[in-house]
Structure formats: structure tokens, C-alpha cells
Structure 1
Amino acid sequence: RNSDDFEAQVGRKLVLCPTCGTANVKKGLMAPAVSTSRKREAISSAMEADIQSAPQEAAGDASGASPAVQNQAPMQQSALLPTDMRQKEIIEALRVVRAKMIENSENVGQDFAEEARKIHYGEAEERNIYGQTTPKDAEDLIDEGISVLPLPELPEEKN
């Protein structure tokens, strides 16, 4: 959520590189993703090119490569399109995961930490729960050996 949370998680080795798995992760400067008319035109042109070449790719080639492998080459021509498409795929996957977690869990609201402790120590029925808690309470739960996992945050929740 913020720099303090990041630093705390990095200090506890909870942040891992998704590519190599190392816990040696540091913050870096990033350019903001500002949507400009040039960027929209570039994406639109790249999408049109992909659509026009799709019939040829769907037919396959003599190499025997699958259509999925063949479709990777045109996407790499545009530096903007793969990231945008990959981000959409990841966000959609997070939506599915989050929906499954909520569907198969009970919302205990602000009583999350208390209820998690009751379940862990056998004072309440064992079940999947979700709710709200403070970062400090979540850290205390982890220190007690109680497994907790934050629900994935989706971009529309921040708007």
C-alpha cells in the first residue's frame, strides 16, 4: 500500500522477484503510464496489424509450431501491446482468484484477526475466512504461526 509496508515486507523477506525468485528486491524509479494520443495510436495500429495477420498465423506453417507459439512473434513487434495485454491477463486472473477466495470463505469483517486466532487455537470451527485487519495485526498473526494471505487488490478498488 505504501513505502512503509514495502520496507516492512522486504525486511521480512516476503517480497520475491517474480522472475528469479530472489528476496533481494529493491525499489526503482518508474515512468508513469500516461496514456497519450500517440500511445493509443501505436496500440491501435499494432492491434490492427495483428488482426490482419491472424488468418495467416491460424493456418500454421511447415515448421509444425503451434499457433500459440506463432502468435508470439507479432506481439513482440510493439513495445506497448504485450505489456498492456499481459497486464490485462494478470488482472483478469487476479479477479478469478479473488472471486474464488471470496466465494469459498466467510466474511468476518473487522474481526478477522480475532477470528483467525480462535480458529488457529481450536476455539472456533475451522473454515476459510476473510476480512479486514491492520498491518500490525497481520504481522502479529504471522509471528504466531497463523497463515494469512492478503486478497489481491484490483486496480478498480484504488479508484
Structure 2
Amino acid sequence: MIQYSLRCESDHRFDSWFQSADAFEKLQKSRLISCAVCGSISVEKAIMAPRVNHATSKAERPLSAAKSPAEQAMAEFRKHIEANSDYVGSDFVREARAIHDGDAPDRPIWGEARDDEAKKLIEDGVPVAPLPFLPTRKTN
């Protein structure tokens, strides 16, 4: 088995195992390798550093180590949400209800709500969903 660091045309980086170098070449030529983040089939080997095993644990790996495909996808998702919606902070429940009722301009928002408040919005037909990350910025 051989592990390759790969990257797609969108510069997403991920690792994958192959039975051999020939197996990788055959799969690549057949366009059967796809990006773990975006699904692109334009995938090639990335520059790799040789792997040298030593006694340090995974917890001690450098912070500059490549992110996993899931971490890359989450970072892109967060970036999209922050760029394309308004952060309303603790006013989320009030603002979501106002938008739903037509009392505020229709726009994508995100913010903070307690579980019971979010459940009440859903029961009232207000379309909301939890985000898998916490805000990095706070409003005063």
C-alpha cells in the first residue's frame, strides 16, 4: 500500500491510499479518483514530504499540517456563511421571526439561539437550522 497526498483543480488537498503506484496511475487515467472535498475528478499528486516515523505523538504534529478534507469543507462552509449572510448575534430569534412575518427585509441571517427558542421557531414554521460552528465575532 502507498499513501499519496493529492490535490484537485480547486487546490483542495487530501490523502488517499492505493494498492501501488500503478494502481494510482490506472485509476487517475480512468478518472476514477475524485476530490474528497468538492468531488472534482481533476486530481493529481501534490508535493509530499517523505514520511519519517518517530516517537512523537499525533497530538504533537505541527499546526501547519494540512487540514483533513472535512476540516477544509467546514472552513469553506463557514467562509460562505459569513460572506453571504448577516450575523445578528443574540437577536437571531427576533430577527428570524420578523423576516418570516414580513416585518423585516428577507435576507439570510445567522446568529445565536437557545435550543428551546430554536424549537419554537421550527414549530411556528420559521425555517432555521443549526450551524456546526460557533461565531468568532461578537456584536456589542
Question: Shorter-chain TM-score category?
Answer: 0.5 to 0.7
Question: Which letter maps to 1:135?
Answer: D
Alignment-derived partner of residue 135 in structure 1: 115
Alignment-derived partner of residue 110 in structure 1: 90
Residues of 1 paired with 2:25 and 2:119: CA distance?
54
Residues of 1 paired with 2:116 and 2:87: CA distance?
20
Quick check: 1:59 aligned with 2:25?
yes
Alignment-derived partner of residue 48 in structure 2: none
1:61-95 residue CA offsets vs partner (Å, 9 max, x unmatched) = 7xx744528xxxxxxxxxxxxxxxxx921222122
Assess if the C-alpha contact under 8 Å between 1:110 and 1:133 holds in 2.
yes
- How far off its partner does 1:50 sit? 2.1
Alignment-derived partner of residue 3 in structure 2: 50
- How far off its partner does 1:58 sit? 4.3
Structure-1-length-normalised TM-score: 0.47
If asked which structure has higher relative contact order (CA below 8 Å, sep 6+), I would say 2
Quick check: 1:68 aligned with 2:33?
yes
- How far off its partner does 1:60 sit? 1.9
Gaps spanning 5+ residues in structure 2: where?
Answer: 5-17, 35-66, 135-140
Percent identity between the two aligned chains? 31
Residues of 2 paired with 1:150 and 1:67: CA distance?
34
Cα RMSD after superposing both structures: 2.9
| Equivalent residue runs for 1:1-159 within 5 Å | 49-51=2-4, 55-60=21-26, 65-66=30-31, 68=33, 88-153=68-133
Structure-2-length-normalised TM-score: 0.52
1:96-131 residue CA offsets vs partner (Å, 9 max, x unmatched) = 112111210001110000000000000001101111
- How far off its partner does 1:57 sit? 3.5
Gaps spanning 5+ residues in structure 1: where?
Answer: 1-45, 70-86, 155-159
Assess if the C-alpha contact under 8 Å between 1:58 and 1:67 holds in 2.
no
Whose strand fraction is larger, Structure 1's or Structure 2's? Answer: 2
- How far off its partner does 1:53 sit? 7.1
